[in-house]
């Protein structure tokens, strides 16, 4: 066997190991199998003078690519809105939040704010008017009208709502478009259909429900009524996930310092980032959203808001 043959065998073995790790322990792979082409845009957001971000818990985009930022600091309003180029548009400070968590926009561009500290979720109009709430502010519970530190909300094409009631109750609760309770599933554990911390939730166009079970290092997948289908255990420690228009998801993982692109079946397409708190590094990543031009926005609990672009 000559040196060329040995090199071919070594290359094959490395490729075989890479494929295995991407299916089983992708967070151990140091180099992305595909260069997704994303680069950070330093100093992207244009905050008003004298304002500064605290921990950025949630980020979301609406149909016009306005970016909503839900943050916990005292030196800026809890909700800030920017356009896609980072120009500041407006802020809201008329609600007293105990602990901002995630923010989402529905198909009508209503803005949903999850206050896990107060056990309540607010639905607001584009003008900031409170339209209604899910849960009872300040009163925890585990039934059709109460939460105990909810973490996120997602919507299917019919307008039905799924809430990850995660820090204490370890369940998913489903509601009709008017906010009437339909059903729930989940319990503490690491078996299929159980959760350690359902931290974020997303629904694809077919109505399948994807949960970022952060403390279990997995993304379980369910049918619209909570029947377990499969779970992805190879991606890392998911804090948030966003479904993108051309299929698949971006998933942020703070401890691994990366954003991972996966297909609808969980196959790792590629990733970018590394641990740390410098520009382009993904440490303390907590939330993620996606713009129509394919830009990615990541919110960090270490008081950062980063934009990544392929342009």
- 45-99 tens-digit pLDDT: 999 999 999 999 999 999 999 999 999 999 999 999 999 999 999 999 999 999 9
DSSP 28: G
Q: What is the pLDDT of residues 23-40, one digit of tens each?
A: 999 999 999 999 999 999
**Which whole number is the average pLDDT over 145-150?**
98
Q: What is the pLDDT of residues 123-135, one digit of tens each?
A: 999 999 999 999 9
Query: Helical H runs in the chain?
Result: 3-24
Share of the chain above pLDDT 70, in %: 95
Q: What was the pLDDT predicted at 74?
A: 97
**Angle (CA) 79 82 87, round 5°:** 135
Asked if residue 5 has pLDDT above 70, the reply is no
40 and 21 in a common domain: no
63 and 6 in a common domain: no
Contact 96, 113 (CB under 8 A): no
Q: What was the pLDDT predicted at 13?
A: 47
188 and 66 in a common domain: yes
19 and 74 in a common domain: no
- In the numeric block, which tokens belong to residue 175? 């509601």
Q: What was the pLDDT predicted at 14?
A: 54
37 and 10 in a common domain: no
Q: What is the pLDDT of residues 174-206, one digit of tens each?
A: 999 999 999 999 999 999 999 999 999 999 999
| 5 three-state secondary structure | helix
81 and 187 in a common domain: yes
The model's confidence at residue 208, banded by pLDDT at 50, 70 and 90, is very high
92 and 65 in a common domain: yes
**Which range of residues forms the domain containing residue 171?**
32-309
- 83-94 burial by CB neighbour count: b if 16+ within 10 A, else e? ebebeeeebbee
d(CA 38, CA 258): 12
155 and 51 in a common domain: yes
Contact 116, 149 (CB under 8 A): yes
| 262 three-state secondary structure | strand
Asked if residue 9 has pLDDT above 50, the reply is no
DSSP code per residue over 222-241: E-TT--EEEEE-SS---SEE
What residue ranges in 156-309 does DSSP mark as E strands?
A: 161-165, 171-175, 181-185, 198-203, 209-213, 219-222, 228-232, 240-243, 249-253, 258-262, 268-272, 285-290, 296-300, 304-309
The burial of 247, by beta-carbon neighbours within 10 Å (0-12 exposed, 13-18 middle, 19 or more buried), is given as exposed
150 and 73 in a common domain: yes
Q: What is the pLDDT of residues 233-281, one digit of tens each?
A: 999 999 999 999 878 999 999 999 999 999 999 999 999 999 999 999 9
| 19 three-state secondary structure | helix
- Counting the structural domains of the chain, the total is 2
For position 205, which CATH number holds? 2.120.10.30
Asked if residue 224 has pLDDT above 60, the reply is yes
d(CA 209, CA 153): 11
36 and 21 in a common domain: no
The model's confidence at residue 12, banded by pLDDT at 50, 70 and 90, is very low
2 and 116 in a common domain: no
d(CA 311, CA 289): 17
Instruction: Give the length of the chain.
Output: 311
- Which pTM does this prediction carry? 0.94
Share of the chain above pLDDT 90, in %: 92
| 3 three-state secondary structure | helix
98 and 14 in a common domain: no
The closest of 133, 148, 132, 126 to 63, measured between CA atoms, is 126
Q: Which residue has the tokens 């607001």?
A: 124
The model's confidence at residue 172, banded by pLDDT at 50, 70 and 90, is very high
- 191-219 burial by CB neighbour count: b if 16+ within 10 A, else e? eeebbbbbbbbbbbeeebbbbbbbebbbb
The model's confidence at residue 7, banded by pLDDT at 50, 70 and 90, is very low
């Amino acid at each position: 066997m000559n040196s060329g043959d040995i090199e071919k065998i070594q290359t094959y073995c490395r490729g075989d190991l890479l494929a295995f790790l991407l299916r089983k322990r992708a967070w151990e792979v140091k180099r992305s199998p595909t260069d997704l082409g994303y680069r950070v845009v330093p100093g992207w957001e244009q905050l008003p003078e004298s304002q500064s971000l605290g921990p950025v818990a949630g980020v979301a985009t609406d149909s016009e690519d306005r970016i909503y930022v839900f943050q916990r600091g005292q030196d800026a309003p809890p909700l800030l809105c920017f356009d896609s180029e980072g120009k500041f548009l407006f802020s809201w400070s008329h609600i007293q939040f105990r602990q901002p968590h995630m923010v989402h926009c529905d198909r009508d561009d209503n803005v949903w704010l999850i206050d896990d500290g107060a056990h309540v979720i607010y639905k607001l109009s584009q003008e900031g008017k409170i339209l209604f709430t899910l849960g009872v502010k300040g009163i925890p519970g585990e039934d059709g009208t109460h939460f105990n530190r909810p973490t996120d909300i997602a919507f299917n094409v019919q307008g039905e709502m799924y809430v990850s009631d995660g820090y204490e109750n370890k369940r998913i609760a489903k509601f009709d478009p008017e906010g009437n309770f339909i059903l729930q599933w989940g319990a503490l554990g690491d078996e299929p259909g159980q959760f350690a911390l359902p931290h974020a939730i997303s629904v694809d166009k077919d109505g399948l429900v994807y949960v970022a079970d952060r403390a279990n290092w997995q993304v379980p997948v369910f049918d619209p009524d909570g029947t377990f289908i499969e779970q992805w255990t190879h991606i890392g420690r998911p804090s948030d996930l966003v479904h993108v228009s051309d299929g698949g998801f971006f998933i942020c993982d703070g401890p691994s310092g990366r954003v991972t692109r996966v297909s609808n079946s969980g196959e790792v397409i590629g990733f970018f980032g590394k641990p740390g708190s410098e520009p382009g590094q993904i440490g303390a990543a907590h939330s993620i959203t996606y713009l129509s031009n394919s830009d990615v926005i990541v919110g960090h609990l270490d008081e950062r808001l980063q934009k990544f672009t392929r342009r």
